[in-house]
Chain A
């Protein structure tokens, strides 16, 4: 079950768009993109997840990795996640450090 990952910069925001399924098999692709995003040095990294129909704990690990990689002064926003995905993020308590947004 593939994951497509794209990366772009919009002003002072680095945008990562994910589509597909984020699990232990596909998370390494996301990690590679996070490494690239961290190099951009923008103040916000926005992860658009509306196209992610399924996320396992490997995705949580990716989000923690992202925060560690960009540093605490950079805001990580997760945008458009479907309810079960945002519930998984909240279950892990990551909504305290990562901004969860509907749009």
Chain B
């Protein structure tokens, strides 16, 4: 009964206020795109986690709790989802802001800030950032599984 999962091309756009309350709407959109691309559980989880971490970072640190908007644009094709996240907060390149974990530091002294970005970047297959017209634009791509569930970063 195992037939190939039917996939459909889909594109979607969502603009939400930069609040933690909007994270659920963003996640729902991402999971819909992942479903239409036929991504499996693991790949769907990874794209959701990556987008969620970047969006959370924009809410908490980008706009610093102030008013702002986040625009999420997504496109799915067979076995592949590409999502861009845009904001008008001060320039922030996630690759520069990434803080790898410190496994040798005792838990009581460990810093966790920046770890979300690390998780996001290690969860996707491709990542790109540009600052254009006063906007931060991060683009993330995840492909269907069949490979390493946590692809190594260069």
| Interface assignment of B45: CB less than 8 Å from any CB of chain A | yes
Closest to B60 in A: A24
Q: How many residues of A contact B (CB 8 A)?
A: 25
Known: A25-B20, A84-B45. Is A72-B106 also a contact (CB below 8 A)?
Answer: yes
Min CB distance, B138 to chain A, in Å? 16
Complex contact B52–A92 (CB within 8 A): no
Out of A24, A57, A64, A83, name the residue touching B119 (CB < 8 Å). Answer: A57
Closest to B119 in A: A57
Complex contact B23–A91 (CB within 8 A): no
Q: How many residues of B contact A (CB 8 A)?
A: 31
Min CB distance, B49 to chain A, in Å? 6
Q: How far is the CA of A25 from the CA of B27 in the complex (A)?
A: 13
Q: How far is the CA of A95 from the CA of B115 in the complex (A)?
A: 15
Chain A neighbourhood of B46, CB < 8 A: 84
Chain A neighbourhood of B27, CB < 8 A: 1
Q: How far is the CA of A96 from the CA of B104 in the complex (A)?
A: 8
Out of A25, A57, A94, name the residue touching B107 (CB < 8 Å). Answer: A94
| Interface assignment of A60: CB less than 8 Å from any CB of chain B | yes
Min CB distance, A10 to chain B, in Å? 24
Closest to A58 in B: B56
| Interface assignment of A40: CB less than 8 Å from any CB of chain B | no
Out of A57, A67, A93, A96, name the residue touching B116 (CB < 8 Å). Answer: A57
Complex contact A93–B102 (CB within 8 A): yes
| Interface assignment of A23: CB less than 8 Å from any CB of chain B | yes
| A63-103 Cβ-contact flags toward B at 8 Å (1 or 0) | 01001100010000000000110011001111011100000
| B100-128 Cβ-contact flags toward A at 8 Å (1 or 0) | 01111011101010011011001000000
Complex contact A57–B112 (CB within 8 A): yes
B residues 28-75 near A (Cβ < 8 Å) are: 42, 45-46, 48-49, 52-53, 56, 59-60
